[in-house]
């Protein structure tokens, strides 16, 4: 019986180390999850900034376009053409900003996908290791 005591102590020690490392891993994964969520929120913040800027620029483009239409009706000469060019340029840039903002918001999620994938991979490896160990013990 005395020969079993060192084996049991090393098994207990290994089990405690496994529990300790598992706890550390869980806390690290939680920290990574928080960082991932923060990164996603930052991306949406940028997208939300582009939306009002693009909306204001689009409003300015529509005002200019309206002025161009009025100028075209009043004077069928070059001033309306200049107003039309300015409107087209403003509409192009405002549309680009709006679509950029929408694109950034579209990919927003609070779900930490990378962390979940890592946790699932770790769980799969642990399950596989346990199954292999169980198979070896049964042989």
Give the domain extent around 104: 4-138
Please state, in angstroms and rounded to a whole number, the distance separating the CA atoms of residues 21 and 76.
79
53's CB contacts (< 8 A; 6+ apart) are 97
Say what the pLDDT of residue 44 is.
82
DSSP letter assigned to residue 109: -
What integer is the mean pLDDT of 60-68?
Answer: 83
pLDDT for res 27: 86
Average pLDDT on 41-69 reads 84
Q: How many domains does the chain have?
A: 1
* CA dihedral for 33, 37, 38, 40, sign (positive or negative): positive
Per-residue pLDDT at 108 exceeds 80: no
pLDDT at 17 > cutoff 80: yes
Q: What is the mean pLDDT of residues 55-69?
A: 85
Average pLDDT in the 55-79 region?
Answer: 78
For the chain, what is the total number of helices (H) and then of strands (E)? 3, 0
């Amino acid at each position: 019986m005395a020969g079993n005591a060192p084996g049991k102590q090393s098994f207990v020690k290994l089990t405690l180390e496994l529990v300790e490392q598992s706890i550390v891993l869980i806390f690290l994964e939680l920290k990574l999850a928080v960082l991932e969520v923060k990164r996603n929120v930052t991306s949406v913040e940028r997208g939300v900034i582009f939306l009002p800027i693009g909306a204001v620029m689009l409003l300015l483009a529509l005002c200019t376009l309206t002025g161009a239409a009025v100028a075209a009706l009043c004077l069928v000469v070059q001033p309306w053409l200049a107003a039309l060019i300015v409107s087209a340029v403003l509409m192009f840039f405002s549309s680009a900003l709006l679509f950029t903002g929408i694109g950034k918001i579209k990919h927003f999620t609070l779900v930490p996908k990378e962390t979940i994938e890592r946790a699932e991979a770790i769980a799969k490896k642990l399950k596989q290791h346990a199954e292999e160990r169980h198979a070896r013990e049964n042989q």
